[in-house]
């Protein structure tokens, strides 16, 4: 694994890249996540695939305060990373939550780039109500800087997602800080929930795998409509998993992913 940087206009995008392998697979994390969170999944495929995990703008080691948080900006970053790193096309594109929404739009707007699409706990967007404000307020409530990892765990808890956040905290002289800004997270997810992208979903031509957790957050009615709209859609529900399927039930998730991407 190598951490590499790609410049897209005013934004620096940091990626983890295996650098070699067979058919490429590109991973996109969810809101407030990072490439490091998805690397255990990517590494499982590395022996037979070139794998790239992207820190999306506003996340991880990428530019912390980008001036554009639109959906088109996120999609443009993915396209630019694939081209700049010389990744063979088309790719299998795997996204969780907000990253799944980004992946769907890449497949809709750039069908030549995507051979297979995997959306983990992700839908077409829209219908968020006050979700952006609630998430922004919660991230802003973190008592940062944390003194150490134990202090972070005392506040965040010990769920798989909490442990992932703690592992990824940035060490500064005054303590440990998250690798994102609360208001950036609020505005990034606001762009996702602003519009239900049913027209884009209908334009996706890549065979698609929808992965849900048994305790996931994407509504069954939305998933049913997604399946009914297109014929080339497979839906798998992972038992005893929530929104963070890839962390909650890693082994079961990898088995599903491997079977689909080949």
Q: Answer positive or negative: Cα dihedral of 229, 120, 189, 80.
A: negative
* CB neighbour class for 52 (10 Å; exposed up to 12, middle 13-18, buried from 19): buried
The Cα–Cα gap between 19 and 3 comes to 10
What tens digit of pLDDT does each residue of 247-256 get?
Answer: 999 999 999 9
Residue 120 has phi, psi (to 5 degrees) of -100, 115
Laid out side by side, the sheet with 114-120 consists of 2-8, 11-17, 51-54, 25-28, 91-96, 114-120, 208-213, 233-238
pLDDT(78) > 90: yes
Q: What is the pLDDT of residues 168-198, one digit of tens each?
A: 999 999 999 999 999 999 999 999 999 999 9
| Structure confidence by residue, pLDDT tens digits, 16-69 | 999 888 999 999 999 999 999 999 999 999 989 999 999 999 999 999 999 999
Per residue in 97-152, pLDDT (tens digit) is 999 999 999 999 999 999 999 999 999 999 878 999 999 999 999 999 999 999 99
Class of domain 2-127+195-261: alpha beta
Q: What is the pTM of this model?
A: 0.97
Nearest Cα to 211, choosing from 241, 172, 186? 241
Domain layout of the chain by residue ranges: 2-127+195-261
Q: Give the pLDDT score at 20.
A: 83
Start-end of H helices in the chain: 35-45, 71-84, 98-109, 131-140, 149-156, 160-167, 182-193, 198-203, 220-229, 245-248, 250-261
How far is residue 96 CA from its own chain's centroid? 4
Q: How far apart are CA 158 and CA 208, in angstroms?
A: 32
């Amino acid at each position: 694994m190598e951490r590499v940087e790609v410049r897209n206009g005013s934004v620096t995008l940091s990626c983890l890249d295996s650098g070699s392998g067979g058919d490429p697979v590109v991973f996109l994390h969810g809101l407030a996540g990072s490439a490091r969170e998805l690397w255990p999944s990517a590494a499982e495929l590395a022996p037979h695939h070139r794998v790239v995990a992207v820190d999306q703008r506003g996340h991880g080691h990428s530019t912390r305060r980008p001036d554009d948080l639109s959906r088109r900006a996120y999609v443009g970053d993915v396209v630019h990373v694939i081209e700049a790193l010389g990744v063979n096309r088309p790719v299998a594109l795997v996204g969780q939550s907000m990253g799944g929404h980004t992946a769907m739009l890449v497949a809709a707007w750039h069908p030549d780039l995507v051979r297979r699409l995997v959306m983990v706990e992700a839908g077409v967007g829209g219908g968020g109500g006050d979700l952006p404000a609630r998430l922004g307020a919660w991230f802003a409530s973190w008592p940062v800087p944390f003194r150490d990892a134990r202090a972070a765990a005392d506040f965040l808890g010990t769920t798989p997602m909490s442990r992932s956040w703690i592992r990824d905290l940035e060490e500064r002289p005054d303590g440990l800080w998250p690798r994102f800004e609360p208001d950036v997270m609020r505005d990034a997810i606001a762009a996702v929930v602003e519009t239900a992208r049913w027209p884009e979903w209908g334009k996706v031509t890549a065979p698609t795998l929808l992965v849900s957790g048994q305790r996931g957050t994407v509504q069954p009615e939305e998933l049913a409509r997604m399946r009914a709209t297109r014929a080339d859609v497979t839906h798998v529900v992972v038992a005893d998993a929530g929104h963070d399927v890839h962390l909650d039930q890693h082994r079961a998730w990898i088995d599903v992913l491997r079977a689909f991407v080949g």
